[in-house]
Amino acid sequence: MTDAVFELHDGHVRLDGREILSGIDLTIREGEVVALLGANGSGKSTLVRALLGLIPLSSGRRAVFGSPKISDWGRIGYVPQRLEVGGGVPSTVREIVSSGRIARQSRFRLTSKADRAAVDRALAATGIAGLARRSASRLSGGQQQRVLIARALAGEPDVLIMDEPLAGVDAANQDALASTLAGLVAQGRTVVLVLHELGPLAPLITRSVVLDHGRVVHRGEPPEPTGACAEPGHDHLHPHAPVGAPSVWKA
């Protein structure tokens, strides 16, 4: 059996005195492409942050590459949801994407040819090479999302964990992301995706995990859409379902 990348055993998370994740058991192994699905507020982002150790468990056990804490962030590329890129600092797109190499560089080594080549590949893969000199804070939401994806790709991580990578990204760039990820998966990388719609990423996904109110309610094959979402021609661009609404996914 291949090695476990992320393990969560009976994981519980409480935030502001409220239980957000309840009794989650989840193991993600090397080479898997796992989709985390579920309605707004079901706990997907919290689960990602719990897997990464960015928020503490109130009870249960977590391991990343077999250890309680991540010792080598260079192996992990995390694309958070809706982060303001640049954070008010006037950074160019290239500077932000280059920062994805930092965990790969030794403390005393200057940026190498290999670093620059990796940044160029990441910019090209996400279709933002033409924006490299632009100030990131002036870009659209979808362009900023692609900057964050490029930053993660630039680090050439073993594991990519992306929170809603398709949000605000147009169809052509969604397809480009799908083919970039397909290349990484073919090399044996592990990918964890928080998604509302599988879109062009559907053929890559090896397993889905559906959350509802902080619990896992489905695991296995990506569930089939039901109702209007199953009809031919449905474009799957409807807004997020409200919390507690009947799921469009068959459990």
Site residues for ligand ATP per CB under 6 A: 15-16, 20, 38, 40-46, 81
Distance CA 140, CA 173 (A): 14
Q: Which is nearer to ligand ATP, 16 or 84 (CB)?
A: 16
Q: Which is nearer to ligand ATP, 36 or 118 (CB)?
A: 36
- CB 68 → ligand ATP: shortest distance, Å? 22
Q: Which is nearer to ligand ATP, 41 or 77 (CB)?
A: 41
Q: Which is nearer to ligand ATP, 44 or 151 (CB)?
A: 44
First to last CA, the chain: 28
Q: Which is nearer to ligand ATP, 121 or 213 (CB)?
A: 213
Distance CA 95, CA 135 (A): 9
**What value, to the nearest 5°, has the Cα angle with vertex 18 and ends 222 and 65?**
50
Q: Which is nearer to ligand ATP, 155 or 214 (CB)?
A: 214
- CB 169 → ligand ATP: shortest distance, Å? 16
Q: Are 35 and 201 in contact (CB under 8 A)?
A: yes
- CB 215 → ligand ATP: shortest distance, Å? 12
Sheet architecture: strand order including 4-15: 18-29, 4-15, 59-64
Q: Are 64 and 25 in contact (CB under 8 A)?
A: no
- CB 28 → ligand ATP: shortest distance, Å? 17
- CB 20 → ligand ATP: shortest distance, Å? 4
- CB 70 → ligand ATP: shortest distance, Å? 20
- CB 178 → ligand ATP: shortest distance, Å? 20
Q: Which is nearer to ligand ATP, 6 or 65 (CB)?
A: 6
Distance CA 220, CA 78 (A): 23
